[in-house]
Amino acid sequence: VAALRLGPRPTVLVTAPEAVQHVLALRPDLYVKRSHRARLLIGDGVLAATGEAWQRQRRLLQAQFTGRGMLRYEQRISEAARTTAARWTAYARDGQALDVGEEMRLFALDTIWRSLTGHPLDPDTARELAAVQTVVAALPSLPADGVAAQGAVAAELARIDTLSSRAIAAARSAGAGPHGPGLLHVLLEAAETSPEYTDRLIRDELVTLLVAGHETTATTLTWLHLLLDRHPHARERTLAAGPQGSPERRRAVQALVHETLRLYPSAWILPRHATGDDVLAGGYAIEAGTDVIVCPYLTHRDPGTWEDPGRFDPDRFLT
């Protein structure tokens, strides 16, 4: 726990696991999100929502991401993986080099689009969805003024709105895709009984799921490929853990992903704002109005928590 000043308000950086749990899990009512930097893109989607709206939106989506809930998307994920594998086979046959980061982005985008709409990602949609990546990349350098920031990426936002409207209309008129209904259909069903789910909120949740569902996954998988290249023994041990689909292979793959996320968390910084006075573990007083920054990157590399934290060791998650 360290105090510093960033701008006009006092700021506290929190990395101790107990303090992180206190801020994020035990007192989310006290440590709230301020205006999300991606709000101009995701609007009132669940990542930017707060209070009762956040709880309501989270409840609706949470059931889709449990272990049982994810089973309904297993076939879509497998199809996206097979599409990627076929593309890589063609690259190998022709001796082409590939950009792993871009390939993981396409795979993750295909996966989330199938999960949202029930349809595979086609080339035209992939080109249109590049606008999402453009806006995300521009966010850190956009003007602080909201109107000016909106204007700087107006063309990209218009493309995203048009694509979202088209996807919502298609889901309404054509129904489920070849693999059944998707997350977009869940939102449309919610609109039938919950008037707050307007087309605008459905658009915001759609874009939120696109951003959160593909960018973080693509980044994590890119780091994983880099780590496996540097540590080929980890790949061989995972493949030798058991046949594909076996519990042993699944545990070994999960350990690889967990260790990748430990070293390179997809969200490396989580800002919150204290709405009231509080005391963290260890007696650290937090005054109302303080900005609190949780940094998983530092927590995951704390030698007091992890033995030899800079070492890539998936076995940490197998014991």
Q: How confident is the model at residue 70 (pLDDT cuts 50, 70, 90)?
A: confident
From 17-31, 59-73, 211-225, the region with the lowest mean pLDDT: 59-73
**Which 8-state DSSP code applies to residue 283?**
T
b/e map 114-129, b = 16+ CB within 10 Å:
bbbbbbbbeeebeeeb
Residue 281's pLDDT is: 85
Q: How confident is the model at residue 36 (pLDDT cuts 50, 70, 90)?
A: low
Is 175 a residue whose pLDDT tops 80?
Answer: no
3-class DSSP state for residue 121? coil
Q: How confident is the model at residue 222 (pLDDT cuts 50, 70, 90)?
A: very high
From 17-21, 72-76, 140-144, 199-203, the region with the lowest mean pLDDT: 140-144
> Which sequence spans correspond to the domains of the chain?
38-214
Question: Which ranges in the chain belong to alpha helices (H)?
Answer: 17-21, 39-42, 51-62, 67-70, 74-94, 100-117, 123-138, 146-152, 154-174, 183-193, 199-230, 232-240, 247-263, 296-299
One CATH from 1.10.3470.10, 3.50.30.40, 1.10.630.10, 3.40.630.20 for 38-214: 1.10.630.10
